[in-house]
A and B are shown apart, each in its own frame.
Chain A
C-alpha cells in the first residue's frame, strides 16, 4: 500500500477555507484516496474518497493531481467543530485501514 505524508499540524481561521495536503507519490493505479477525521474520544468519521477525478460532497472537496501523487482536502468554510485530526489513506479494497499520524487541524475563532 502507498505511504502517505501529511503535515503534523495546521491552523485555520474560522470561516476560511482549510486546505489539507497529502503526498502519496508511490500510489498505484487502482488505489483510492480516502479522507477521515477523528475528534478526540470519538470514532473516525469518513469524509470523502476518490480515485482520480476531483470529488465534492456536503462536507468537503477532494482535489487529486493529474499524476495522482498528491491530493488536497478542502473544507470550504471551516468551523470550530472541524477541529480534529485528519487522516489521508491510500488503499486498494479498503479492508484494512492504516491511520498514520495525520494532520491536527485547529480552527481558530
Chain B
C-alpha cells in the first residue's frame, strides 16, 4: 500500500513564524502535491512537484514556498505565518499521468 506520511497531525504556531510542514512518501512516486482544505472551499492546490528540485505553482501559492531535495520528501514552508493560513494541509503523491493521487492524513495548522 502507498504510504504518505505527514510529520504532524496538529500544529499551533504564532503569527510571523516560519513554519515547515513535512511530507514523505514510500512508493518512489515522481509527483507530489500540497493542498489546503477549508470548509466551503474544498481542496485547493498550493504547489506541486514532478521531480526532485522541480516545482510548479498551483492555484494559491502566495505566502508559501516548497522544497524537494529528495524524491521521497516534499516540504511546504510558510515564510511568515498569518492567521488566514489556519487550515488543514494535505500532502499527496502519485506516479504516472492518469494514476490516482494518494493522500496523507493531513496537518491541522492553527496560526494564533
Please give the residue numbers on chain A whose beta carbons come within 8 Å of chain B beta carbons, in ascending order.
32, 34, 41-46, 49, 51, 92-100
Contacts and interface: CB of A to CB of B under 8 A. Distances in A.
B42 A100 contact: yes
A97 B43 contact: yes
A32 B106 contact: no
27 contacts: A32-B98, A34-B100, A41-B106, A41-B108, A42-B105, A43-B90, A43-B105, A44-B43, A44-B103, A45-B103, A46-B102, A46-B103, A49-B100, A92-B98, A93-B97, A94-B99, A94-B101, A95-B31, A95-B33, A95-B45, A95-B48, A96-B45, A96-B58, A97-B35, A97-B43, A97-B101, A98-B42
A88 to B, nearest CB: 13
Interface in B29-43: 31, 33, 35, 42-43
Nearest to A93: B97
Interface residues of B, number: 24
A46 B100 contact: yes
Contacts of B105: 42-43
B71 interface: no
A96 to B, nearest CB: 5
Main secondary structure of the interface of B (DSSP, over half): strand
Given A43-B90, A43-B105, A44-B103, A93 B42 contact: no
Given A43-B92, A45-B103, A95-B45, 7 more contacts: A43-B90, A44-B90, A94-B94, A95-B31, A95-B33, A97-B43, A98-B42
Nearest to A48: B100
Q: Can you list the 8 inter-chain pairs with the closest CB atoms, starting with the nearest?
A: A43-B103, A46-B100, A99-B43, A43-B106, A96-B45, A99-B42, A43-B105, A44-B103
Nearest to A43: B103
